[in-house]
Each structure stands twice: as C-alpha cells, then as structure tokens.
Chains A and B, each alone.
Chain A
C-alpha cells in the first residue's frame, strides 16, 4: 500500500517517471538485440516481425509508446521546473505530461489496429 504522505499528484508523477525510465532501460537491450538480428540472422528477424503483427504485441507496443512518451514529457516537465522561471502550476504540468503521453500512445494504437 502507498503510504499516506505519498498520495499526492507530484509524488505520483515522480514515481511514474522512475518506473517508466526503468521500463525503458529494460526494453532497450531487447530492442537492440532484435535490431542486431538484421545483420546476423535476417530469417529470425522476419519471423519476429511476423510475430509482432499479433494484436497482443500491438497492445504491448501501446504500453511501450506510453512509457516513452510519459518519460519524454515528464523529463521536459522537470527541465522546465528546474531551468525556467518558477510557475505555480506544477500539478497541471504533470497532468499535461500524462495527458500528452496518452494522446501520443492512443494515436499509435488507433493507427496500429
């Protein structure tokens, strides 16, 4: 259970940024491994790409695009917080980062299906 003092928007934004970063860090080696197949084992890559057309994989890719977008927008939010003149709208900025991530990943999913 999340401890009571953590249940506020900016703490959730912090945790989402950490978890999305962790998820992307775990994804990256797998991503590079699959790309490397293009040079070493083209037939395996083709099989993998055929498997990636599976709707379940598309759904997983939606999650991946969401992680990427939320980490990107969250990072921009932190850069703005630390380097631009202070704005009191930090919760709105965190909400906007989340909304932007859903917009990007949702558009990806609609195009994919």
Chain B
C-alpha cells in the first residue's frame, strides 16, 4: 500500500542546509527533558507535520495526539516556542525563531507522555461549570423555536464554535496560579448555556460559575482571547457571566436564586 507523504515528495525537496532544530519534550508524568531532532525544513509545513515526521522517520516511540489535521477536532494543541497553539494549523514559518522550534505538552495540564497532555481536568471543569445540557422539554414535546435574532441566541452563537482544544486553558495564568479555577473554555461554555432558552435551569448554570474558582476569579489578562485559534472571545463570555452573576446577586431575592 502506498501512502502519499508530502515530506518525502522530491518535487518539494529542498537543499540539505534547510534543517530545523526541533526540541521536543520527552518524558512520562512530571519528569522529562527536551530532546533535539533535526527535521528537513519545507516550503509549507505545519508544526504537526514536523512532529509526525519525527515520529515516522526518527523515533516511533514519540507520543502525541491528533485526529483531523484540519482544525476541527481540537486534539493536537501543544506549546510551541512557549505559546499554546493548534499545531495542525500553525505554519512552521510563522513560529520558528532562528530556525528553531521548541515543542512541549500543553501547559496547566498533567502530562501523560511526551506531547500528550491529560485532558481529564479540562473536561471535568466543563461539567463543574454546568456544561452539560439539561433540556427544558422532553423528546415527546414539540421543539422549542428559537429565533436566530433573539439576543440570547446571538450571544450564545459567539461561543459555540469552541473545539475544546484547551489552548485558552493553557494560556491562562489564573489557571496556573489557581488549579481549581474553572478556566476560560468551561466558563465560555457556561455562558452559551446561560443564554440558551432551551436549557431548563439557567440560574443553576449561573450559580455553578458564581462560586469560588468560578467566573469571579478571572483576572482579565485576556490570554484566552489572544490565543483562541478559532478567534472566539472567552474574555467577553466571562465578563458576561460576571455581569449576570452580580445582577442576580443584587437584584434577585434569595428564593429566586435558588
């Protein structure tokens, strides 16, 4: 069977001098170190291409995670030269410094092995932030109509393209300093649900994110919005939750809030 490998294609072969110095994190759990590999530089290649080349051509034991390679699945995020990025859509040319790349596992998450981060804490926080959809109607009832122009729907639409890549979570210093902080992705998910009229108990979502380690822990550094590869704006979602939470605290009676 023949697999087409663009990195082996002679037509895009380049001279011997075009070599990338790539240091890749190797190790299991908390221990490890950077190992340097020399990878041929190509005219057009992504960081994920580089990692795949190392795994296929030099060291098959290199562990990393990817699936779709086109920026849909959100599984290939890594730290590239100290910044969190979706590696499948990050061109090497845009991020190399002096022909060198440093690739590590995502920040703020435990490392399983090499470049594969343990995503469990990230998704556990989705649940903790009320991120599970609890419908207001059963399947026996007619579907609730939601107008696309409805202000809540417009607000929710801004956040629903999240692919759960955890780039924002890795960029956030508040997560780094407060390990139990829910983080930008989970809070943005909560904000979309809070604005979704099909959710049964939207006050419950707001209560889940108004507690300790919720939206009020955000220090407004904006790294989430700065690094979101889908150009979403978790900072505005968290600000929206803060506003809704403060309004609920000030203007709703205790019974209403329960």
Chain A residues with CB under 8 Å of chain B are 3-6, 8, 10-11, 14, 78, 81-83, 86, 88, 90
Ordered by A's residue number, 20 sampled pairs between the chains whose C-beta atoms are within 8 Å are A4-B81, A4-B83, A5-B82, A5-B171, A6-B173, A10-B222, A10-B223, A10-B226, A11-B222, A11-B223, A14-B221, A78-B220, A82-B220, A83-B246, A86-B236, A86-B240, A88-B233, A88-B236, A90-B222, A90-B235
Chain B residues with CB under 8 Å of chain A are 81-84, 107, 170-171, 173, 219-223, 225-227, 233, 235-236, 239-240, 242-243, 246
Rounded to whole angstroms, the CA-CA distance of A61 and B96 in the bound complex is: 44
Min CB gap B87→A, angstroms: 15
Residue of A nearest to B216 (CB): A82
Rounded to whole angstroms, the CA-CA distance of A67 and B143 in the bound complex is: 56
Asked whether A81 lies within 8 Å of B84 as measured between CB atoms, the reply is no
Residue of A nearest to B167 (CB): A5
Rounded to whole angstroms, the CA-CA distance of A30 and B171 in the bound complex is: 38
Residue of B nearest to A80 (CB): B239
Asked whether B223 lies within 8 Å of A5 as measured between CB atoms, the reply is yes
Secondary structure type dominating chain A contacts: helix
Min CB gap A45→B, angstroms: 40
Min CB gap A41→B, angstroms: 42
Q: A83-B246, A86-B240 are in contact. Are A8 and B82 (CB under 8 A)?
A: no
Residue of B nearest to A91 (CB): B222
Asked whether B240 lies within 8 Å of A3 as measured between CB atoms, the reply is no
In the complex, which residues of chain B have a beta carbon less than 8 angstroms from the beta carbon of A82? 220, 239, 242-243, 246
Q: A82-B242, A86-B236, A86-B239 are in contact. Are A6 and B222 (CB under 8 A)?
A: no
Residue of A nearest to B172 (CB): A5
Asked whether B239 lies within 8 Å of A81 as measured between CB atoms, the reply is yes
7 smallest A-B Cβ distances: which pairs?
Answer: A10-B222, A4-B82, A14-B221, A8-B226, A86-B236, A11-B221, A4-B83
In the complex, which residues of chain A have a beta carbon less than 8 angstroms from the beta carbon of B83? 4-5
